[in-house]
A and B are shown apart, each in its own frame.
Chain A
Amino acid sequence: MKKIFFRRNVGMAIIMLLAISCNEDFLNVKVQGGVTNDPALVQKFVTGTYNSLTQGDCFSNGDVHGWGFISVTCTISDDADKGSTAGDQAVPIGDLDNFTTTSTNKFCETMWSGHYIGIGAANETLNLMNTASTPLAQKKIYQGEIRFIRGYLYFNMVRMFGDVPLVLRVPKNLKEAETDPVYATRAPKAQVYDSIIQDLQFAVDNLPIKSQAVAGHVTKGTAQTLLAKVYMYLGDWAKVKALTDAVIASNQYSLVPDYATIWRQVGDNNAESIFEIQTGKFNNANLKIDNYIVSQGPRVGGMGGWDDLGYGFNNPTPDLINTYETGDLRKAATVIFIDNSGTHKGTTLWDGRRIPSSDSVQNLYYNYKAYTSMTKEEFANKLDKDRPKNVRILRYAEVLLMNAEAAFHTGGDVLTNLNKIRQRAGLAPKGSATLDDIWKERRLEFAMEHDRFWDLVRQGRVGQVLRAAGKTNFVDGKHELLPVPNSQILLSGGKLTQNPGY
């Protein structure tokens, strides 16, 4: 009896012990909610790469078209001042504005990082496409879009930093990421430009024209326009001429009659739009580029007493304002003039909103192109001060002006296209045009549109112009480029070199 009992108990105990000890499957639990595969992944990766263009995390992870972009393209130029109060963001923005930037400047770092996030996303997507079962025709379009984005991002990179690491693939593991020199050494500018041209040419060859594509996608015209611009920076005027001629001949684009509407919501993806960074709504929330609007919104100051629109940065300069000819319609469409007359009438904007007069506002001029209307425009969340705004990167006006400039160099018709731009601006057509006339037209047409600084560098007169505009710290041969982020030099173990002068 006792024996049987013993056996039964011990037997039971052993069964208990073994019951859960020999099943490896028990440990095969997948990460919950962690997507590792998806049939629609290629398409999602393409969208995700586009999403990289909306990065605006200028204070930590990465920026492409946010406040960092505003600062290194616009505030840095003679079009805009830092704005806000004197001490506000003295580092990093004040330094950029005054050319006292150091290699630890956060915006320089996040612009570097944000662009490589986008480039990495593009590389990752192209890599995935190698094995994806997407139909070939669709695959070509995806590849064209992604390679355009990669080319565009590298174009910004060479313009910001000169020579940069040319990363066109994805590291296999941490060791490769840490040791492969590709990720840590700068490729000569010329090599980067080669890559940009190849990417953009692929896009030109494989993308549909605008009328055959969904708005917001990159098209053949987009690629042609950007490629023309790249050639313009390289001084290859014949190619600029040919590409812009092709865009004009495609009949996909035209100038809209009212310049003032271009940067409003009604102007989103309008007839003139060639490449614009899209914003809107998602999950009933605003889908925006962080800080793009709120950083530039008119700021409360002086006596206060009103709920302001933003932080008051990137103010149009008197130098820009004084450049407009009398009657230029673009002036009032570009600048919000704060009432400084002492009559306290304030400023009434296009949608009827009144901004108080200068005794309650911090600065005298604000960027009208960065204004969004709470009453006349649609947003998922109107109360958010940082509302969505599509950022216009390439518009048809630029095709016309590039064409004019190319014609100037190659001996073609400069005036027709130049005067189309002037005419819309309410100005008399020119009978003859110098290179300076074309450049001035570019400045005013694209004022506050992130082109001015790089355009001055391209024109080879950046130091001269900026010093004349009071930016006396500008040193030729140094300040054309931003410093390579110190953090990246450290992470490269010193392999990454610094730009001259920094």
Chain B
Amino acid sequence: MMGKSFSRILIFTVLTAISTTLAAQVRMVKGKVTTLEGGKSVEMPGVNVVIVGTSKGTTTDIDGSYSLELADSDKELSFSFIGYTMKTVAIGGQTVIDVVLETDTQQLEEVVVVGYGVQKKSDITGSTANVKGDELYKQPVLTATQALQGKVAGVQIISSGQPGSSPQIRVRGVGTTLGGTTALYVVDGVLTDDISNINTADIVDMNILKDASAAAIYGSRGANGVIIITTKRGKEGKLVINYNNSVGFRQASNLVEMANSREYSNYVQAATGSAPPASSYNTNWYDVILRTALQQNHNISLSSGTDKSTYLFNVGYLTDEGIVIDNDFKRFTMRLNNEYKINNIAKFGFQGSYANSVNQNGFNNLNIDAFGSVGSVYNDAYRAAPFIPSIVNGKYGNTSSYQNVGNPLLDIKNNSVKVKEDRIQGSTFIELKPLSWLTVKSSFGVDVRNATNRVYNYQFESDESTFIIAGGNQRNPQSALTVQNSQAARWVWDNTFTINKKINNHEITFLGGTTAESFESSFISASRKDVPADPNLWYIGVGDANTSQNNGGGDAWTRNSYLARLNYSYNGKYLLTATVRRDGSSRLPSANRWQNYPSVGLAWVASREPFMQNQKVFDLLKIRASYGKVGNDQIDSDSYTNVFTINLPYAFNGYNSSATNGARKDQFKDTEIVWEITEEFDFAIEFGILDSKLTGEINYYDKKVNNALIFKGIRHTILDIDHNVVANAGVIQNKGLEVALNWKDKINENLSYTINANATFNSNNVLDLNGGSPIAGGGVGSQGPVTNTNVGQPVGSFYVLKTIGVFNSDADVANYVAQNGKIIQPTAQAGDFKYQDLNGDGIIDNKDRQYVGSYQPVAYFGLNLGANYKRWDFNISIYGNVGNKVYNGKKGVRILGTDNIEKSVVYSRWTSANRSQKEPAANTGNLPASDYFVESGSFVRINNLTIGYSLPPALLTRARLSSFRVFLTSQNLFTFQDYTGFTAELPGSVINSGIELTAYPTTRTIAMGVNIGF
């Protein structure tokens, strides 16, 4: 950009010089261009001075002065400089025109937060991405993380439709199996792992540090990427009041259609030989438990300030009913951000937020079973027979007496699960600038959470008071109440100094500092039985003391770090960033407690080279490369310490007296483990062409974890209750390519538009386990684990039997023989699946399982279009995910002949007339884990579609408003997917994700709202 301008200036200057010598009539104008910097007038060299309407002009020299020869026809002069508002001055009769340029906050070269400081975007040598809060807030979703989906290359967001849930974020693949994969969030300097408390309306921008070089400043926290969130500040000027709202509804975006009574009856008859009883009911159990839900979001913000202080106050209220009946989520948030300028040297600031959330029957929050881990409702809705009514005259249909499956409606109605959370998060800082080149900052942040989970299981019997027909296993003879209170508090204290010096073409910024962090958490829980059903009696003290149980525990750790970063720029062309962080943690044994995380990044802004000034292709061409190390500290605090398992009682005197308490050393620990360290190499090209209408970035990365923590199976002759030790033995690699393109154009005064497209290709691979055992995960009912993490495969690959057709006849069965002459599936019948006998031993068992893909996508992409036409604005975001697999676990939990079946299966199943080779004959379930359950996880979704209209200024003035916009928005309007289940977007821990078992269906939201500025 700069380079091009300079080249133009150069050409202009030459042309001007030539033209002046040829011109006959000349008059001169001269002057000085200055700007205000810290209250002082500063001369501005290099300012572009152009005679409006001509190609003539000049640039100011070192002391900001210029002179120009003018023709008679010349009327106006324009003064421009990057980052400053262009000024146009009428010449008239003046011969001296002095101009003061003002910095343009819009045009000022983008500065991004890079961790403990800011940096000009063009100077960055690592891989980062920046997303503006406005763009996130447009979407009617709970957290900014979810709104980030499809916006940034290299950042995969996996979210569920569940109100109040935090989406999962995976930056450039996953490099761990046992450690956490959550990115580190830094909210105004406070480190956290969950931002569901942050009102998206409060966010100025999110800056994502993707590669090891950018994240190395966060050392052992950086391996999963870092997301820095800056919240809004007040601005100098008059009081600004904004009110925003949106009100809309949500529904399941995709439903699975189950067989109706007639189809069910035929299928069950075929599967079991006996038809279910005749019935006039035809229950669609999903209709019974799902609904259209209301969602609302309201925000009021006030902000203002003087040159001494600014403030911003925001109150938000969000409700989200959730599409499963009885589910309800509410969140109230409040934020106050203040800044005070004490004098020219000292600045003091405070950012604080309070969030209160209440989640009623938030499914999967707690798995408490009294015939209802609430999540079981999904299994039950899938399996329950359609000929049984859900509820008639207040009495429930008895699915359990007929088929041993709970009535899904009763599953919901017999439990009440409420989670309340209060959270205070904030930071305060003092910043001193004793010298123009030195900034010293101390900032102290806290994050305090207090949550209460209350679970009540109603008492009911499987008799006629509850059910239409008595009997069955769905009953809870004793009511039960469980209350858990948990709290967590952390503080982080950062002390940094920054030196910034510019000497001629050399600019050096050096950051040094220390940080200390402390975390403490604890929980206490209690439960009693026989608590009356009245909610105002849901207190532990009301229950039967003879049934009381309690528990409690806690965690604490500290961390101390030193950090340093050097940025060097030569003329904005050659850039170097060198970072080192030294992290010490209480969680590692003192001998290997301290670890260093170095990184280095280099960049060359080729477009600023003189030889590039004559080309017309690139406005920007930047090449950068970086290398760095980061760590993943998301492992348990006691991972290396030998502790005893307590509460292992023995009832010496039988039932006569309470048991004696005992202890055992149940875990064998590798006391020498260290954190997982990721080494990453990153190479990228950034460019801008066609007058920067098209900008883009292509990034290649290769990151490797050489000491991934994995389970190492330990001989069972060693005392270790689960026969595994955690050891640094795995090698996991993620290699990938990211492409991001931005097109920005203004066709005329009325129409402008932007297109942003990004795509990420990632290849994840376990390179070695070094004697560790493959890690099985993803348990699906009686099928057992369906994923395996092993050498040569992506983490969490599906590992199942392979179907090779369906037996058409008994002769087919008899002819399916192994080399050793054994009939491979002797008990199979015509219509049963034929499985591949991989090892050729003539037996189909777990040894015949093979890898059939993983949940990790080959590629994911986003396409975002925005357009403004007159006062209309239009936005569409598309997100897609291709090349991965999902496991239809719902099908896998079909374990009885009387379980319901998907409608499509009823018609596509194998029969002697329709010899399907894909779908077996009517069966009684209990099929082993096979590729039958593995489906394509690819999908493309219209994530968001928004149309807005802003009132014209004339109307606004009359209404005394500064802005007024109405909009209609839809989240997840449409999904194109091959998958036959609810959703192919299935969060879970690395080795358990991609399995649809009790997944909350992805929802479609349609909402409208207003944004009003007063």
In the complex, how many angstroms separate the beta carbon of B997 from the nearest chain A beta carbon? Answer: 19
Closest to A91 in B: B845
Given known A29-B558, A31-B643, A47-B660, contact A268–B718 (CB-CB < 8 A): no
Residues on B with C-beta less than 8 A from A120 are 717-720
Closest CB-CB distance, A367 to chain B, in whole Å? Answer: 20
Scan residues 35-55 of chain A and give those whose CB is less than 8 A from a CB of chain B. 35-36, 38, 41, 44-54
- A residues 98-113 near B (Cβ < 8 Å) are 102, 104, 109, 112-113
Q: How far is the CA of A445 from the CA of B743 in the complex (A)?
A: 88
A253, CB-defined interface residue at 8 Å: no
Q: Kindly provide the distance from the CB of B263 to the nearest chain A CB, expressed in whole angstroms.
A: 24
Contact assessment for A287 and B651 in the assembled complex, using a CB-CB cutoff below 8 Å:
yes
**Complexed CA–CA distance, A41 and B643 (Å):** 12
The reply to whether A117 and B721 contact each other, CB–CB distance below 8 Å, is yes
Q: Does A33 contact B (CB under 8 A)?
A: yes
Chain B min CB distance to A21 (Å)? 4
Segment at the interface with B among A199-207, A328-336, A404-412, A487-495: A487-495
B637 lies within 8 A of A45 (CB)? no
A281 to B658, Cβ gap below 8 A?
yes
A71 contacts chain B at the CB level, 8 A cutoff: no
Of B541-549, B875-883, B955-963, B981-989, which binds chain A? B541-549
Question: What are the residues of chain B within 8 A of A20 when measuring CB–CB?
Answer: 493, 495, 514, 516, 560
- What chain A residues lie within 8 Å of B643 (beta carbons)? 31, 34-36
Q: How far is the CB of B861 from chain A (nearest CB, A)?
A: 41
Contact of A215 among B478, B593, B647, B654 (CB under 8 A): B654
Q: Provide the residues of chain B in CB contact with A501, threshold 8 Å.
A: none
B650 within 8 A of A: yes
Residue A84 at the chain B interface, CB threshold 8 Å: no
Let me know if B653 and A278 touch, CB within 8 A: yes
Segment of B181-189, B665-673, B936-944 engaged in the interface with chain A: B665-673
Asked whether, in the complex, the Cβ of B401 is within 8 Å of the Cβ of A304, the reply is: yes
**Chain B residues closer than 8 Å to A87, beta-carbon distance:** 926
Fill in one digit per residue for A478-498: 1 if any B CB lies within 8 Å of its CB, else 0. Answer: 000000010110011000000
Q: Which of A7-15, A232-240, A449-457, A462-470 contacts B (4 or more CB under 8 A)?
A: A7-15
> Which of A32, A173, A269 touches B671 (beta carbons < 8 Å)?
A173
Cβ contact within 8 Å between B556 and A32? yes
Any chain B CB within 8 A of the CB of A183? yes
Q: Which residues of B contact A388 (CB under 8 A)?
A: 651, 655
Bound-state Cα–Cα, A60 to B776, Å = 13
Q: Closest chain B residue to A121 by CB distance? A: B664
Does A167 touch B at the CB level, under 8 Å?
yes
A170 to B473, CA, bound (A): 47
- The reply to whether A487 and B713 form a contact with Cβ atoms under 8 Å apart is yes
A-side contacts of B496, CB under 8 Å = 17
- Chain A binder among B24-32, B432-440, B686-694: B432-440
CA distance A35 to B638 in the complex (A): 11
Are A282 and B659 also in contact (CB < 8 A) when A36-B643, A54-B650 are? yes
With a cutoff of 8 Å between Cβ atoms, the chain A residues found around residue B556 in the complex are 29, 32
Min Cβ gap B850→A in Å is 17
Are A491 and B495 touching (Cβ within 8 A)?
Answer: no
Q: Choose from A19, A44, A177, A178 the contact partner of B663 (Cβ within 8 Å).
A: A44
Query: A208 interface residue, CB < 8 Å from B?
Result: no
Q: Which of B404, B462, B659, B718 contacts A177 (CB 8 A)?
A: B718
Q: Is A61's beta carbon under 8 Å from chain B? A: yes
Tell me, rounded to whole Å, the shortest Cβ–Cβ distance linking A152 to chain B. 15
* Beta-carbon contact of A492 and B653 below 8 Å: no
Q: Complex formed: what's the CA distance from A491 to B664 in Å? A: 24
* Known contacts A32-B637, A216-B651, A282-B659, A48 near B664 by CB under 8 Å: yes
B255 CB-CB contact with A under 8 Å: no
With A and B bound together, what is the CA distance between A23 and B518 in angstroms? 14
B560 touches A27 (CB 8 A): yes
Q: Enumerate chain B residues within 8 angstroms of A306, measured Cβ to Cβ.
A: 471
Structural contact, B715 and A31, CB atoms closer than 8 A: no
- Of residues 361 to 384 in A, which have CB atoms within 8 Å of B's CB atoms? 377-381, 383
CB pair A45–B663 under 8 Å, yes or no, is yes
A375 to B550, CA, bound (A): 27
- CA A18 – CA B513 in complex, angstroms? 9
In the assembled complex, A28 has its CB within 8 A of some CB on chain B: yes
Q: A215 contacts B725, CB within 8 Å?
A: no
Distance between B924 CB and nearest chain A CB, rounded to angstroms: 9
Say yes or no for A174: interface residue by CB 8 A criterion: yes
Asked if A73 lies at the interface with its beta carbon under 8 angstroms from chain B, I say no
How many Cβ-Cβ contacts under 8 Å join chain A to chain B?
277
Which of A31, A112, A280, A379 meets B638, CB within 8 Å?
A31
**Most chain A CB within a 10 A radius of its CB, from B345, B642, B717, B719:** B717
Instruction: For B662, give its contact among A47, A184, A214 (CB under 8 Å).
Output: A47
In whole angstroms, what is the CA distance A177 to B714 when docked? Answer: 8
Which residues of chain B are within 8 angstroms of A6 by Cβ–Cβ distance? 434-435
Min C-beta distance of B66 to chain A, whole Å: 35
Decide if B571 is an interface residue (CB 8 Å cutoff). Answer: no
Interface pair A61/B664, CB less than 8 Å apart = no
Q: Does A284 interact with chain B (Cβ within 8 Å)?
A: yes
Choose among A10, A23, A287 the residue that contacts B440 (Cβ–Cβ < 8 A): A10
Q: Would A116 and B717 be within 8 Å (CB), given that A16-B440, A16-B495 are in contact?
A: yes
CB-CB under 8 A from A279, the residues of chain B are 651, 654-655
- Checking A9, A184, A378 against B655 with a beta-carbon cut-off of 8 angstroms, the contacting residue is A378
> Are A19 and B662 closer than 8 Å at their CB atoms?
no
A144 at the interface (CB under 8 A from B): no
**Given A28-B586, A113-B716, A104 and B655 contact (CB-CB distance below 8 Å):** no
Once the chains bind, are B549 and A283 in contact (CB under 8 Å)? yes
Contacting residue for A112 out of B716, B719, B725, CB 8 A: B716
Cα distance, A34 to B639, chains bound together (Å)? 11
Tell me if B648 counts as interface (CB < 8 A to partner A).
Answer: yes
**A21-B514, A35-B644, A184-B717 are contacts. A269–B845 as well, Cβ < 8 Å?**
no
Contact A268 B513 (CB under 8 A): no
The verdict on A305 contacting chain B, using a C-beta distance below 8 Å, is yes
- In contact, B648 and A174 (Cβ under 8 angstroms): no
Residue of B with least CB distance to A42: B663
Interface string of B542-571 (1 = CB under 8 A from A): 000011111001111111101000000000
Q: Which residues of A contact B554 (CB under 8 A)?
A: 32-33
8 A Cβ contacts from B107-159 to A: none
Interface assignment of B364: CB less than 8 Å from any CB of chain A: no
A17 touches B655 (CB 8 A): no
Interface: B475 (CB within 8 A) = yes
Encoded as 1 (CB less than 8 Å from any B CB) or 0, chain A from 294 to 317 comes to 000000000011111000000000
A174 CA / B560 CA spacing, docked (Å):
29
Please state if B513 and A491 are interface contacts (CB–CB under 8 Å).
no
Tell me the residues in window 572-614 of chain B with beta carbons closer than 8 Å to chain A beta carbons. 584-586, 590, 593
Task: Name the distance in Å between B780's Cβ and chain A's nearest Cβ.
Answer: 15
- Other than the given A9-B432, A27-B559, A27-B590, 13 more pairs (CB < 8 A) read A10-B440, A13-B442, A20-B514, A27-B560, A35-B644, A48-B650, A183-B715, A214-B652, A216-B651, A268-B654, A279-B651, A307-B462, A488-B717
What are 19 A-B interface contacts by the 8 Å CB criterion? A9-B432, A13-B442, A26-B516, A27-B558, A28-B590, A47-B660, A51-B662, A61-B721, A116-B717, A124-B719, A173-B670, A184-B717, A216-B651, A217-B652, A265-B654, A278-B650, A283-B647, A307-B471, A390-B654
Binding site for A on B (CB under 8 A): 345, 401-402, 404, 432, 434-435, 438, 440, 442, 462, 470-473, 475, 477-478, 493, 495-497, 512-514, 516, 522, 546-550, 553-560, 562, 584-586, 590, 593, 637-638, 641-665, 668, 670-672, 713-723, 725, 727, 771, 845-847, 926
- Enumerate chain A interface residues (CB-CB to B < 8 A): 5-6, 9-10, 12-13, 16-21, 23, 26-29, 31-36, 38, 41, 44-54, 60-62, 87, 91, 102, 104, 109, 112-113, 116-117, 119-121, 123-124, 165, 167, 170-171, 173-174, 177-178, 183-184, 214-217, 265, 268-269, 278-285, 287, 304-308, 377-381, 383, 388, 390, 485, 487-488, 491-492
Task: For the complex of A and B, list the 8 residue pairs with the smallest distance between their C-beta atoms, beginning with the closest.
Answer: A120-B719, A47-B662, A280-B651, A34-B643, A216-B652, A13-B440, A48-B662, A48-B664
